[in-house]
C-alpha cells in the first residue's frame, strides 16, 4: 500500500502547532533583563539560525523519504546511529513530561478541578487521541485546532501588549546567552523534523513551510513571554493567565497548545524506537511514551528545563552539523557501514566543545561556533583521513 503523502500546508500546520506552547512562552520570559528591543533582536537572530538548521535537516528527510534517525545512519552507520536514536527517545520522554507538567500547572491555575495530576491525565488522554488519529490524518482536525489557537493567541497578545512597557526586569542575561536560548528551541526539533517531512509530496515546499511556520509562531511565543514580564510585571505563565481574566479562553490556549506540541514528541519517540528495533511499532510506543510522560509529570519534580535545553544542544548540534555536511557538501552515505568511527569521534569533540563554549560569552551563543568548527573538522577529516584510507584501499 502506497504511503499517504502530506502537503506543504499540512506540514506547516503541524509545525505552527508545535511552536505554540507554554514552554516557548516560559523561555521568552527569561529574556526580560535585556529589555524589549534587545530581547526581540535576540529572539529573531536565534530563531533565524535555528530555523535555517531546521530547514536543512528536514530537507534531508524530505529528499530521501527517511525518518530523522534513519537519516542519521547516513553519517554514523547503522550501529553508530543507535546511540542517537536512544538519546532521542530519552530526550523526547523528558520533553513529553516537561510539556505535560507545565501545561497541567497552567491549566490548574486557570481552573482547579482537583490538582495538577488531574489535568496531567486529561492532557495525556488528549495527546493519545491525537496519536491514534495519526499524523497523516490530522488535516482537518489540525486546521480547526490551529485556527482556534491563532484566534486565542491574538486575543492574548492584545491583552498583554495593551499595557505600558516597564523597565527591564531584575536578573542578568547576556545578549549571547539570549541568542543561544532562542536557538535551542528550534534546535531541539532537529532530531524530529524528518519524521514529518519524509512523507511530503513536495519536499522543498513542505520543509520551507515547516521551518517558516515554526519561525513565525515560536518567535511570537517568545515575544509573548518577553512582553508578559515587561508589560504586565508577571514572571509566571499561570499567574499571567489568571490575572488576565481570560477564563475558558486561557484554558483552551493551555490545553490545545500543550497537546499539539507534545504529541509530536511522543510520536517521534515511537519513530526513533522503531529505528532502534524494527519489531517496535511507532504508534504503540508513542502511546507508551505519553503514559510514561504523564507518570513523570505527576510523580517527579519537573520545574527547570533551561539546563535540559543546553544538554540537548550539546548532543544534537554537532550531530546535525555532521549530517548536513555529509549530505549537502561531501555527498557521502555511511548507511552501508556498521559504524563511521571518524564521524563519531568528531561528534564527541563537538559535544566537548559545546560544553566548553557554555563558559564563554560569545555574541552569537554556543551553537553557531560549535557547528561551524564541527563542520570544518568533518570536511578536513573526509579530505585527509578518509581520503588517505580510500587511496590505500585502491593502491
Q: Is residue 251 part of a domain?
A: yes
pLDDT score at 143? 74
Provide DSSP, 142-176: HHHHHHHHHHHHHHHHHHHTTSPP-PPPSS---HH
Q: H helices of 277-305, where?
A: 282-299
Q: Residue 241 has what pLDDT?
A: 67
Count of Cβ atoms closer than 10 Å to residue 164 Cβ: 7
CATH number at residue 293: 1.10.4160.10
Distance CA 309, CA 392 (A): 43
Three cell numbers written together for 147: 485556527
Structural domain contains residue 62? yes
Helical axes 175-188 vs 203-227, angle rounded to 10°: 140
- Give a yes or no: residue 53 inside a domain: yes
Phi first, then psi, for residue 200 (nearest 5°) are -70, 140
Integer Cα distance of 261 and 99 in angstroms: 8
Residues 6 or more apart in contact with residue 377 via CB below 8 angstroms: 346, 349, 350
pLDDT of residue 1: 38
Residues of the chain with pLDDT under 50: 1-2, 390-391, 393-395
**Containing structural domain, residue 154:** 8-304
Separation between Cα atoms, residue 101 and residue 123, nearest integer Å: 10
Q: How many domains does the chain have?
A: 1
Specify if 386 maps to a domain.
no
Instruction: Provide the pLDDT for residue 231.
Output: 83
* pLDDT tens per residue, range 77-127: 999 999 999 988 888 888 899 889 888 988 887 788 888 899 999 999 999
275 with 284: CB under 8 angstroms? no
Amino acid at each position: 500500500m502506497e504511503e499517504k503523502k502530506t502537503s506543504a500546508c499540512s506540514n506547516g500546520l503541524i509545525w505552527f502547532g508545535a511552536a505554540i506552547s507554554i514552554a516557548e512562552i516560559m523561555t521568552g520570559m527569561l529574556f526580560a533583563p535585556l529589555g524589549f528591543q534587545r530581547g526581540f533582536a535576540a529572539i529573531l537572530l536565534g530563531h533565524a539560525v535555528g530555523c535555517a538548521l531546521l530547514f536543512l535537516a528536514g530537507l534531508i528527510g524530505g529528499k530521501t523519504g527517511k525518518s530523522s534517525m534513519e537519516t542519521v545512519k547516513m553519517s554514523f552507520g547503522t550501529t553508530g546511529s543507535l546511540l542517537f536514536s536512544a538519546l532521542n527517545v530519552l530526550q523526547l520522554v523528558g520533553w513529553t513530561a516537561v510539556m505535560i507538567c507545565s501545561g497541567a500547572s497552567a491549566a490548574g491555575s486557570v481552573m482547579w478541578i482537583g490538582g495538577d495530576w488531574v489535568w496531567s491525565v486529561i492532557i495525556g488522554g488528549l495527546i493519545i487521541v491525537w496519536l491514534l488519529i495519526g499524523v497523516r490524518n490530522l488535516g482537518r482536525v489540525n486546521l480547526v485546532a490551529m485556527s482556534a489557537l491563532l484566534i486565542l493567541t491574538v486575543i492574548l497578545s492584545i491583552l498583554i501588549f495593551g499595557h505600558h512597557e516597564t523597565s527591564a526586569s531584575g536578573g542578568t542575561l547576556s545578549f549571547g546567552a539570549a541568542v543561544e536560548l532562542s536557538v535551542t528551541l528550534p534546535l531541539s526539533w532537529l532530531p524530529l523534523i524528518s519524521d514529518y517531512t519524509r512523507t511530503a509530496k513536495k519536499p522543498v515546499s513542505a520543509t520551507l513551510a515547516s521551518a517558516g511556520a515554526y519561525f513565525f509562531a515560536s518567535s511570537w511565543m517568545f515575544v509573548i513571554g518577553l512582553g508578559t514580564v515587561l508589560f504586565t510585571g508577571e514572571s509566571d505563565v499561570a499567574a499571567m493567565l489568571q490575572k488576565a481574566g481570560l477564563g475558558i479562553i486561557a484554558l483552551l490556549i493551555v490545553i490545545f497548545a500543550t497537546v499539539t506540541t507534545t504529541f509530536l514528541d511522543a510520536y517521534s519517540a515511537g519513530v526513533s524506537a522503531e529505528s532502534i528495533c524494527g519489531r517496535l511499532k511507532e504508534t504503540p510506543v508513542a502511546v507508551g511514551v505519553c503514559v510514561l510522560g504523564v507518570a513523570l509529570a505527576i510523580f517527579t519534580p519537573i520545574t527547570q528545563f533551561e539546563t535540559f535545553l543546553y544538554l540537548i544542544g550539546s548532543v544534537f548540534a554537532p550531530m546535525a552539523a555532521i549530517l548536513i555536511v555529509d549530505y549537502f557538501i561531501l555527498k557521502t552515505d555511511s548507511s552501508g557501514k556498521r559504524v563511521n568511527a571518524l564521524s563519531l569521534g568528531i561528534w564527541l569533540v563537538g559535544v566537548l566543545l559545546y560544553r566548553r563554549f557554555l563558559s564563554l560569552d560569545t555574541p552569537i551563543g554556543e551553537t553557531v561556533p560549535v557547528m561551524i568548527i564541527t563542520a570544518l573538522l568533518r570536511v578536513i577529516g573526509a579530505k585527509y583521513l578518509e581520503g588517505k584510507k580510500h587511496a590505500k584501499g585502491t593502491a
